[in-house]
Chain A
Amino acid sequence: MRITVDGELHEGVTSKDVILHIIGVIGTAGGTGSVIEYAGSVFRGFSMEARMSVCNMSIEAGARAGMVAPDDITFNYLRNRPLAPKGEAWDRAVAYWKTLNTDGGAQFDVEVNIRAEEIVPTVTWGTSPQDVAPITGAVPDPTLISDPVRRSSVERSLKYMGLSPNTRMEDIVLDKIFIGSCTNSRIEDLRSAAKIVLAAGPDAKVARNVHAMIVPGSGLVKQHAEAEGLDVIFKRAGFDWREAGCSMCLGMNPDQLSPGERCASTSNRNFEGRQGAGGRTHLVSPAMAAAAAMAGKLTDVRKFLGVDLSANASLKVASAFDFLTDPVLPPPEPEKPAPSAASSNPKDLPPAETPSCVAKFIVVKGIAAPLHIDNVDTDMIIPKQFLKTLKRSGLANALFYTLRKDPRTGEDTDFVLNRSPYNQAKILVCTGKNFGCGSSREHAPWSL
């Protein structure tokens, strides 16, 4: 699948807005069965870090992976990095990488073309990354949706999110701001957020009603940001400057939303319970998150543009190479494995003898449990708190945990899998499409 975005982005529109807009256009199943190549002048002009944010969220678009053809921006990013090839090996590598571009005239299974000018700062209103709206827009009205499955899914999302139809996005008041995650916590993301804080004024503070945290993507990003003085800018304005980690992206550690709390988050997923049971997530870009922190509600970042920061003494730029200081060991001798006899004809089916212990599937007969939910995501199938295991067994109680247990009492709900005979089900019949979307956690099938 090739997604081409050509044209000039409006000021204040970042790579996160571009990918959220794309997912809004093609849906969370739009990339199913594909790897997405991002093409067009917009991606050509993006830095590597901006491209990473886009490719990162290819999974939210249903694809296996995302990629941008290597070019001088790629090579300059890699050149002299500690683990990049050096000397003659570098030249060989670059020559090889230059052969990786898509052939002219290549046929894609799906082509999507988007004009850059159509994209405005984008936020999510619902519980799927495809539930997006421009910041200038409003919460959708389910009574205007004719497809009954989609309508009930929107109604369910709005109930969970505690939002009324037609509420202006800019009127949505927040409790927490999270700038972090593998999607958006690189140095450029932090710089982009810091510029908004500076533009808000030398004495501007995070709004009283929000707690705003910034979690650098790695220890190196943290050192880098501190060398540029970004931490000082954030702390001065009242942000919580944290150690690197996943933090509130997925609520596997103590950084979580409480039930009903609302967060503007730069992470990649807004599924029910993702940032904590009952937590409400609005996905945004780092600049939009910083703007939301200053305003206390979702806000159009463009209100903070136009401030000239060129003379601002707090902004200095350091090089990532100053922090890539770990010693690098010399390359190893290539391994020379002993030759072993094996042949295979790829057209034939493989031998049936197996060194694995996967159960055979021949005939399965039993009770079938009905389910009527679109886009059942793997956070719903098994929430994050059960993922700290590599064992495939013992996850029965974790299956559909948030639907099977009342969050307040801990008692079993009347969810279908709690009721006889469906607590003995061997088959699940779901009438909603795109079952199993979201995170790749293998725990989802394990718990089933």
Chain B
Amino acid sequence: MITPILLPSALAALADVLTVTGTGRNDFGIRCIIAPSFADIFRNNTMQNGMLPVVLSFEECKALAEDAEAGLELEVDLEKQEVWRANGRTAIPFTTDPFRRHCLLNGLDDIALTMQKVGLVEKFEQQRSELWPWLDGFGYKGKKIPLRGTGMMEW
């Protein structure tokens, strides 16, 4: 059984931090990556940032890379789940998990999804304190853990 530690107050604070950083997120401007396969954590990170990882076969990737080398534009349509190629060549279909697709089409990330369920989170936290009291830790009492020392952190 998994017992995630979710504090609504901490999530709200995190959401604030992330919203004040503005909209210039996808900095280089690449919003879609097409590859034969992706590493798990990276794939999830892209989708948390409004980017779409598309898995296609090696042959399809090779064909699209040839288009790219010719300087041709591609069009990735997440509603239709198709990659459109220039010069009227056949579009290449792809699949996306329906939940992930919904999130990307509507700009939902994990924080947004969690905040939609804040009531359930609070109910869970109450149950957690009853069932696994040791997970509440020591001395926090709903406050932030005090940091000793100040200044920059060198790893």
Contacts and interface: CB of A to CB of B under 8 A. Distances in A.
Interface stretch (A183-191, A295-303, A385-393): A385-393
A316 to B, nearest CB: 31
A32 interface: yes
A339 B125 CA distance: 11
Interface residues of A, number: 95
A426 B32 contact: yes
B35 A366 contact: no
Contacts of B1: 100
B47 to A, nearest CB: 9
Contacts of B99: 349
Nearest to A253: B154
A355 B15 contact: yes
B155 A334 contact: no
Interface in A318-357: 328-344, 349-352, 354-357
A356 B136 contact: no
A445 B51 contact: yes
B98 interface: yes
A355 B112 contact: yes
A417 B68 CA distance: 12
Nearest to A338: B122
Contacts of A442: 45, 48-49
A437 B45 CA distance: 12
B108 A32 contact: no
Contacts of B66: 370
B113 A434 contact: no
Interface stretch (A105-113, A171-179, A276-284, A394-402): A394-402
Contacts of B106: 352, 354, 360
Nearest to A99: B1
Interface string B100-121: 0011111111011101111110
A434 B26 contact: no
A89 B130 CA distance: 11
Contacts of B46: 436, 445, 448
A422 B26 CA distance: 15
A64 B42 CA distance: 11
A359 B26 contact: yes
A70 interface: no
Contact of B36 (A328, A362, A421, A433): A433
Contacts of B35: 428-433, 435
Chain A contact residues, majority secondary structure: loop
A273 to B, nearest CB: 16
B133 A334 contact: yes
A444 B136 CA distance: 33
B49 A32 contact: no
Interface in A361-411: 361-372, 378, 390-396, 399
B120 A342 contact: yes
A29 B39 contact: yes
Contact of A356 (B18, B39, B41, B69): B18
A427 B31 contact: yes
A250 interface: yes
Interface string A250-278: 10110000000000000000000000000
B61 A446 contact: no
A355 B115 contact: yes
Interface of B: 1, 8, 15, 17-19, 21-43, 45-46, 48-53, 58, 61-62, 64-69, 71-79, 84, 98-99, 102-109, 111-113, 115-120, 122-123, 125-126, 129-130, 132-134, 136-142, 154-155
Interface of A: 28-29, 32-33, 59, 62-64, 83-85, 89, 92-93, 96, 100, 245-246, 250, 252-253, 328-344, 349-352, 354-372, 378, 390-396, 399, 417, 421-422, 424-438, 440, 442, 444-448
16 contacts: A29-B37, A32-B39, A83-B137, A330-B138, A335-B125, A343-B119, A350-B116, A357-B23, A362-B77, A366-B74, A396-B29, A421-B71, A424-B29, A427-B76, A429-B35, A448-B46
